[in-house]
Each structure stands twice: as C-alpha cells, then as structure tokens.
Amino acid sequence: MSSTSALLNLLSAALLIYSLIRLHRAKLEWDAYTRLMLNWFLGTLAVISSANLLYWPSLLSTSTASTLDLILDILQLLAAVFFLIFLHAFGQSRWHAAVNSKQKDYQSMLNKLPGVSYRSTGDEQALLLEVSDNVESLLGVPAANFRGKHRVSLLEYMHPEDRESMLPAYLDCIADNRPFTFEYRLINPEGEEIWVIDRGHRVNSSEGKHVVEGILLNASRLVSAEQELSQQEEHMRMQQKALLRLCEFSGSLEQAMQLVTRIMAETLDISRASVWLYTQDRTQIDCLDLYSRESDSHQHDLSLTLTDYPGYFGFMEFGDVIAADHAQEDERTAELRDSYLAPLDIQSMMDTPLKIDGEVRGIVCAENQHEVKKWSIDEQNFARSVANVVSLMLEISVNRQIEEDLRKERDRAQSYLDTVNVMIVSLNNEGRVLLVNDRACDLMGYTIDEIIGKHWVSSFVPEEERTELLKVVSDAYKDTGSLRSSYENHVLTKSGEKLLIRWSNAYQTNDEGKIIGLLAAGEDITEFRRQREEKDRLQDEMQRVQKMRSIVQLTGGIAHDFNNMLTSIMGYADLAQISMKRNAEIESDRYLGAIRATSKKAGNLVSQLLDYSRENVLVKTPINLNDVVRESHRMLEAMMSSSVQMIDELEEDLPDISANQAQIQQVLVHLCQNAKEALHDKNATLWIKTSVKQIIGASCTSCFQKTNGRFVCLEVIDNGVGISSAVSAHMFDPFTTTKEVGEGTGLGLSAVHGIVHMHEGHILVQSEPGQLTRFSVLLPINTATETAHEPIETTEIIDKKKARREGPVRALLVDDDESVTRLLSSFLQRNGIESEVMNNSLEALSNFEKDSTAFDIVITDHTMPNMTGLELVEKIRSRRKDIPVVLCSGYNEMVNEDEARALGVSRFLNKPVRLETLASVISELTSA
Amino acid sequence: MEERELLTFLLSVTVLLVALIQRRTLNLFSALRLPFIAFCLMTLSSLANLLDNTISFQFFSVAEHVLYTLSAAVIAYWIYRQEDSASS
C-alpha cells in the first residue's frame, strides 16, 4: 500500500468515526432498529478503513495479509448488507411515521365533524370499535373510555324505551345491508336525555366481519325546535279555532262580547280579557264586557275617563298593540299602576286598538294577574285578529240596527200603503215591480211575491194595451216632463178579469235627482165606470120617461087648446064658407084671417112640442134664454094648474148662451113641473126669472163643485111648501120623489142635473119648508162673437144672379106630399115665382140634371122616399154649386141645421113653414 | 481477480439495484439521497479494488481509496445534516 492510500484510509476512518460519534449524539426521530443498522454500517466501514492501515508499510506477513483480506472482504459484504437493512428499516420507520401523521389528520378531521363518528360491531351488542374524540362533547364521556381493551356498547347509553323499539330495526338494516337513520335518545352520565340522529351503514372489516360505521348527530336542539314549533302550531290552531268560533257567532252584541272575552282569556291563558269602547264624545271609555277567569264572571259596568290617563290613551291613538310584559313599569301603561294595575295585581297587559273605518273606537284588553307574562308575536297577532273580529262585530251590530230601523220604517211605510184604499205600485227603470201594497194584491188576486220583480206591463196589462202603455212609459223616461200624471188602463187579475184602474203617477228619484223609477197610485174605477154608464143609461131612460110623462101631461093641456083652436078654425071656416056664398067678401076675409091666426097659434104650439120631443142630441147653438122662456110660456101655462099664477121677469139685453134649446126647454119644464107639485095654495105663484149673475165661490147644489164666474141665470121660484133638508140632500139623485108610489118617477131633477152640467152649468137651490123655493140654473155666457151664417156660396149665388137675373124667378119645388106642393106652388105663383113641382126626389134630380140652369132656387122637403132631401141637395150641389137651396123639415131628429148647412143647404126651415117666411127667404136668396 | 472482491462488488451492485428498485421510497424520503451517493461511491471503490488487480494497479488502488474516502466524507456530511435538521 502506498502512503497516499494509507492517508486516505486514515481520513476515511476518521470521518466514519466522527460520523458514528455524531450519530450517537444526534437526537434523531429514528427507531432503534434503524439507528442500529446505520451504526453497524458505519462501524463496519470504519473498521475496514482502519484495518487497511495495517497494510502500510507492508508489515504483515502474506498469510496474515491474506487473512486480513478475507476479513475485510467479509466486512465489506456485511457493510453492504447493513446498508440494505438500514434502507429498509429507515423506509419502514418513515412509513409508519407518515401513516401515524395521516391518522392524526383524519382523527382531527373526524373530530371537527358536527357529529360523533363511530365504528361498531354489526351484531346485537353493537360494541364500539372506534369513536371520534368529540364523543365527549356529546355524552360528556372522554373518548379514551371507549378505546380501552374493554369495549363499550352504544346501547348502554341508549334510552331503554328507544333501545327496545330501535334494536330490531337496526339489526334488520345490517342484515339487509341497508343504510339506516334512527332518531333516539341517549342518556349521559348525569342522566340527561340527548336526542341524536344516527345515520350509518354496514361495511366489512379487514377481518371480513360485518361492522357498522356511522355518525351520531346531536338532535336535541332540532327536537326542541320541533317541539316548540309543534307547540306554536297548537297555539295557532287554538287561536284559529277561537277566531272561527267568534266569526261564526250570530247572537246579540252583548253575547258576542262575552264570547270574545272568554275565548280570548282561555286561548291566551290569561286572567282577564275585556272589550272597551269610546263614548260618542270620546271623553271616556266604557267596558262592554270584562271576563275574569278566576271568578268565571263577566262585568261591564266599568269606565275610564280619558283625561285621567292621557299618556296611555295617547299611546292607544297610535293604533298599534301595546304589549307590556311588565305593565306596572312599562312607560305606556305605568299611568294605570296606582289606580288599576296594582290594586288588581295585574302584572302584564296587552291592549289592542279597535279600529272602525281607520279610527280607533275602542280597546281589546288582555291582562294577566299575579305573574308576568311575555306576550309573543303570535299572541299579539291573535289579539289583533280578535280586535278585527270585534270591529266587524260592532260594524255588523250597527248595520243590523240600521237594517232593523229600515225594516221597521219600511214596514211602517208598507202599513201606510196597505191601509190606503188605492193600489200603490213602484216600478224601477226596467219596468219591474219593486213595491206593491196589499190593496193591489187584493184587487189583483196575487201575493206580493208573485208580483215583486215581475215586469209590470208584460205581466199585468192586457196585451192590447201593452204597446201604448210601453210607449207612455218610454216617453216618460225620455222626456221627464211628459209623465202623464193621470192615466187609465186595464189591469189583469190572476183570474183573468180586467180591472179598469185610474193611475196617478209620479217619478221616483234618488238623492242626485236622477229618475230611478215610477210610483203609481191606482184607483179601481171599474165599478165606478160601470155605475156611471148605468147611471147615464138610467138618466137617458129617465129623461125619455120624463119626457114622455111631460108629453102626456102636456097632451092633456094641449089637447084642450088644440080643440079650442080647431073649434075656432072650423067655426071660422064655416062662417067664411057662408060668407062666400053670400059674396060677403069682407066678412069672408075676416073669417079667413081669424082661421089663419088660429092656425098660426096651432103651428107654434106644434113647433114647441116638436122641439121638446127631440132626442138628447147635444147640438148647441147660440140662443137667448128669454126667447126660450117666452116660447115655452104657453106650454107651461097649459101644464100648470089654472090656480097657479105665472110671472115672467126677464132681464132685457140678456146675453146669449150656447145651448141646446130643446134641452133648456126641458129643464124649464122639469123645474116648473117640480114647482107645480109644491104649489097647493090658492095664492100659488110661479116666478120665472132670467138675469146675468156674477157668482163667487158658490157651491153647486147638485155636483157640490165650487163655482165662479159670470153666468146667465134662469130662476124658477115658487111659494110652495118648500123642500126639507132631508129631501134636498138627495133631490138630484135619480128616482128621488116625494110623491106617492106610481105618481112620479123621481127622475125630473136628475134630468135637470144632467142637462145643466152637460151645458157646463150649475144649479143653486135655496129652499126651506114654508119659504120661497128658488132653483137657479147658471149657464155660461156665449162669449163667441155672433156672426151671421151666411155661406159664401150664397153670396156668390146672389152675385151671379145679379149678373144673369132676367124675368121671373124659377123654383124647383120637391115634396112627396102633393097637398103641400100644391099649396106652395099656388102661393109661389101668386107671388110671381114660377115653380116646377116634383113629388119624387129622383124625378126632381133627373129634371134638374137635364138643365140645371133652368132654376133659380130649389125648395125641397127632407123626409122623402128613395132619396132624402139632403141627398138630393148633395147631388144638386155636385152639378151646380151656386144655386140656393132651401131645405124644409118637420122633424129635426133626422137632420139639424148645422149638418144641413155643411152639406150646402142655403137655408133651413122647420115645418110647418110659414108662407111669409118662405117668401121672405126666397126673396132674400134670389134678390139682387 | 479475487473471488471475494468480485462477490463484494456484486453484492454492492445488488444493494444498489434494490435501492434503485425502491427509488420511489428513496425519492420520497430525500434524507437518504446522500447515503445512497455514498454507497455508490463505495461500490465504485469496490469496482476499483476489483480492477486494480488486472488493469492498472497503481491508478485503481489510489482510486479505490479516494472513492472510499469520498464515500466516508459524504456520510459524515449526511450525518452532520441530520443532526442539524433534528436540532432545528
């Protein structure tokens, strides 16, 4: 060996020895085995290096050197082996260190989990094999207690009840290899129950056994929260049930308040509950009801003055709940402490304002005595709900009171409507019935329900009248001024009968004045109309009977006059005949004059009879009442007893009246006849007076109507026995008579009443027994200007006649009575008028048509066979309009003057026609 | 060539192969890198010892001892480092 090699070996040996020493001193975290292998490795190398020094400077023998070589080679081999073992040991130790580190990390992580992770045997013992450290926080038992040799079962800490119920299911899940989740109670060493949720599943251990790995979660808070939630739900349910009971209550307000306070006290589990309401002037608050659970009693005679507790009521005005747990200390309720809270030992109170229409009207008060109660949000909400319900109850109560008042008012109005004897019907804008009274129902035979809501016109008006009535109603809505205040129409009853109703109508309007319907009051005039028609019929009959009676009476008197006249005529005729035989012309002429005068009187008398016998056709003409009296005088004289003195007192220049002369005569006759019956004394006197009277506020004795104005008055006054008040009250009623049965009809004054009122006049009667009886008939003055009925045609005729007038006048004379035509023809001929006589109207027309210009005038009778005089006139007029026509008639029932004039008759003459009158008329019509 | 020297060399190479096979472990625990280098130097020293009998005795004999000394130095350095890391 060279010295260099020896030095290198020496250095190596020193380094290795240094390393061994350092290794020995160093505090390495190596296990002993690793350290030992490394020591041996380094020691072997150190030995080898040291031994190599023995080769320098070749001191050893060959054999020794050979032995040393062998030893060194063996040491070299050992060093390699030691190094290999060292590597392995080092790796193992580091591996275990890493595993332990990882295990610590996992354990730390498990401990940070919210639950306790565990591993247990998968059998019925459930022995804990592993458990995380935080088991101590769950059970209060250190984890080390579960990691000893003596294994602990989780079942030991389980609540016995839960263990019994859970274990079978737990074993089933393990057997079926299903994950499980159980909720059960553990009991810690202090005996406290701990709710846990156990979630786990089966796994196979490294030994191939079934073990369970799971985690235990502390569910105590969750369960507690669930229980609290459940309790809250129960409270809510109770509150809802209580509110439902309140809402469903339908008794009186007092009962409702008692129910409110009781339910509130029971639901909130408090001592007292009450409802308070402000007075109208809001100066105090009165208790509607206060319920005390201790005494189980209600009281309501309490009140608080607002000025005594301004702060408290001020807070109430904010409108929110005052929930004072410590009511006596709370600033909102402290004012009540001395006078209210402390004496009653009220510790907590919760006041909820009652709001109606947004205004605080009262308080719902919940109070707890003797101990403090914390008002939860739910309880405050419940109190608000109760306050809302009470507000509704109060509103409903007020509305009920209003409805009750309205119902009473409606019933009262209905009773008023039902008591009146007219139908009351109210219709809306659609024409449907809104209201109807009992009278209407009675008349129509329906019930109220059968009428209300029906369309009135469609349902209760006869079909033939519906269209017109609908138009009337429609017009009434279109034009508010067009409502007919009075209207008559028929109404159908349930039995189909038609009632004639006279309606008085009015609009119904709302507060804004808008029309919302019609109100109609109807009077059943069916019977009235029937009676009136019957009355009219009876009056007509009465008038006819009365007229006949008058005629009969007149006949008796007139026959005497006629006989006298005939006697006179016949006598004078005989004398004239004798005188003519003697050629005593002067005597003959005197006798004939007497005949003529007597005949004239007879003609007048007949004329009066004809006038009186005319039917009651009211054709009014301007007449003078004095003329009527004068013309009737003779007839009345004849009717009266000879012992009765008749005195006419007629006012001069009496205005005309518009009247039917025959009927006015009839009135006069009836009144005189009536007077005659009362005149029995020797000094019996009958006055007939005419005058003009101004009447102010007098009542008509027959129609009782107030009368005003200027009238022509016809008075019939007698000094007979007078009329008693009993008779005077009904004297204008038909068949009222003071005469014996069979002597009179009792229709006279009824006829007078009818006629006078048909002439728009009135009757005033003044009479008392033993005094003058005065019947004053007031007839309206004819104010129309009297104009001559001179037809234009006549003027034209005269003008044309003027133009062509030459030679004698030629007349066409038509009458079916030959004696009349002969007489008239002779008369006309003697007056220089040529006449062509025709006794047949058809022949007359034919003759006229042959040459219509051949005649200057036509004189015709009216009543003729084949063709009446009027028909003839009409035909003649169609041929020639300018020819004057004179129509003569002896019976005015067939034609009246106005009608005749309208058909073209120039002049109308009543038969018997006086020849002088005829001559005058012809002269007038044909003159220049 | 001595059989014992060859055997020693082969054994050292075998250890190296084993270490290489377990290099993942060696890489994972970087603390063994220096001992591994030292063992490699020692194997090279063994190889030099094996060659000095056949090729160039002088050179390989010196190389053998130099490599061996380097190996001892690396180990000393490694031990020194281990002690430092442990104390820190």
Name which of A493, A473, A426 is nearest A453 in CA terms.
A426
| b/e code A793-830 from CB counts within 10 Å (16+ = b) | bbeebbeebeeeeeeebbbbbbbbeeebbeebbebbee
- Nearest by CB to B73, from A15, A69, A90: name it: A15
Contacts of A8 in chain B (CB under 8 A): 62, 65-66, 68-69
Name the least confident of A469-483, A827-841, B56-70. A469-483
| Residue A687 banded pLDDT, cuts 50, 70, 90 | very high
pLDDT in tens, A461-476: 999 998 888 888 888 8
Which has the higher per-residue pLDDT, A431 or A93? Answer: A431
Q: Is B2 on the interface with A (CB under 8 A)?
A: yes
A interface test, pick of B21, B68, B71 with most A CB neighbours within 10 Å: B68
State whether residue A207 is helix, strand or coil.
coil
| Residue A268 banded pLDDT, cuts 50, 70, 90 | confident
DSSP B1: -
pLDDT in tens, A289-316: 999 988 888 988 888 888 888 888 888 8
pLDDT of residue A317: 80
pLDDT in tens, B9-53: 888 888 888 888 877 766 655 677 888 888 889 889 888 888 887
Q: Is B16 on the interface with A (CB under 8 A)?
A: no
pLDDT of residue A619: 67
State whether residue A637 is helix, strand or coil.
helix
Nearest CA in chain B to A78: B8
Does the pTM of the predicted model rise above 0.90? no
Contacts of B12 in chain A (CB under 8 A): 76, 80
A3 CA: distance to closest CA in chain B (Å): 10
A8 CA: distance to closest CA in chain B (Å): 6
Distance CA A570, CA A811 (A): 33
Name which of A258, A328, A310 is nearest A289 in CA terms.
A258
**Single-letter code of the amino acid located at A830:** R
Contacts of B69 in chain A (CB under 8 A): 8-9, 11-12, 15
State whether residue A703 is helix, strand or coil.
coil
CB contact under 8 A, A15 and B76: yes
pLDDT of residue A779: 92
Token representation of residue A585: 């012309």
Distance CA A541, CA A164 (A): 121
Within 13 Å and on the Cβ side, how many CA atoms surround B2?
A: 18
pLDDT of residue A273: 92
pLDDT of residue A776: 93
| Residue A615 banded pLDDT, cuts 50, 70, 90 | very low
Cis peptide before A780 (omega within 30 of 0): no
Q: Please return the burial class of A791, using the count of CB atoms within 10 Å of its CB with bins 0-12, 13-18 and 19+.
A: middle
- Nearest by CB to A4, from B7, B42, B62: name it: B62
pLDDT in tens, A485-541: 778 899 999 998 989 998 888 888 888 878 888 888 888 888 888 888 888 888 778
pLDDT of residue A782: 83
pLDDT of residue A720: 85
pLDDT of residue A608: 56
Position A97 pLDDT exceeds 90: no
| Residue A784 banded pLDDT, cuts 50, 70, 90 | low
Contacts of A52 in chain B (CB under 8 A): 65
The answer to whether ipTM exceeds 0.90 is no
pLDDT of residue A804: 44
Question: Which whole-number Å values give the CA distances from A677 to A107, A495, A649, A673, A717, in the listed order?
Answer: 150, 51, 21, 7, 13
CB contact under 8 A, B29 and A91: yes
Token representation of residue A300: 């309501």
Distance CA A629, CA A641 (A): 18
Position A172 pLDDT exceeds 80: yes
pLDDT of residue B26: 62
Distance CA A753, CA A778 (A): 11
| Residue A359 banded pLDDT, cuts 50, 70, 90 | confident
Distance CA A267, CA A380 (A): 12
Position A713 pLDDT exceeds 90: yes
Distance CA A423, CA A460 (A): 13
Q: Is B68 on the interface with A (CB under 8 A)?
A: yes
Q: Is B75 on the interface with A (CB under 8 A)?
A: yes
Position A321 pLDDT exceeds 60: yes
Q: Is B56 on the interface with A (CB under 8 A)?
A: no
Q: Is B71 on the interface with A (CB under 8 A)?
A: yes
| Residue A688 banded pLDDT, cuts 50, 70, 90 | very high
pLDDT of residue A634: 79
SS3 content of chain B, % helix, strand, coil (to 5): 90, 0, 10
B55 CA: distance to closest CA in chain A (Å): 17
State whether residue A431 is helix, strand or coil.
coil
- Calculate the average pLDDT of chain A: 82
B interface test, pick of A3, A15, A69 with most B CB neighbours within 10 Å: A15
pLDDT of residue A796: 38
Nearest CA in chain B to A71: B4
Cis peptide before B35 (omega within 30 of 0): no
Distance CA A379, CA A111 (A): 43
Q: Greatest CA span in chain B, whole angstroms?
A: 49
Rounded to an integer, the average pLDDT of A356-382 is: 87
pLDDT in tens, A728-759: 766 776 555 665 544 454 567 877 888 888 88
Which has the higher per-residue pLDDT, A600 or A746? Answer: A600
Contacts of A102 in chain B (CB under 8 A): none
* Percent of residues, chain B, with pLDDT higher than 70: 83
Which has the higher per-residue pLDDT, A519 or A914? Answer: A519
pLDDT in tens, A11-58: 888 888 888 888 888 777 778 888 888 889 888 888 888 888 877 666
Position A560 pLDDT exceeds 50: yes
pLDDT in tens, A798-831: 344 443 445 678 899 998 877 778 778 877 887 7
Position A544 pLDDT exceeds 80: no
- Nearest by CB to B79, from A5, A22, A74: name it: A22
State whether residue A150 is helix, strand or coil.
coil
pLDDT of residue A87: 81
* Percent of residues, chain A, with pLDDT higher than 70: 90
pLDDT of residue A617: 47
* Percent of residues, chain A, with pLDDT higher than 90: 10
pLDDT of residue A793: 38
- Nearest by CB to B76, from A8, A19, A27: name it: A19
Name which of A768, A772, A640 is nearest A719 in CA terms.
A772
A interface test, pick of B9, B32, B71, B79 with most A CB neighbours within 10 Å: B79
pLDDT of residue A747: 60
pLDDT of residue A679: 83
Token representation of residue A454: 């029906």
Q: Is B33 on the interface with A (CB under 8 A)?
A: no
Contacts of A13 in chain B (CB under 8 A): 72
pLDDT of residue A92: 81
| Residue B60 banded pLDDT, cuts 50, 70, 90 | confident
Residue located via tokens 């038992």: A141
pLDDT of residue A180: 92
Position A789 pLDDT exceeds 60: no
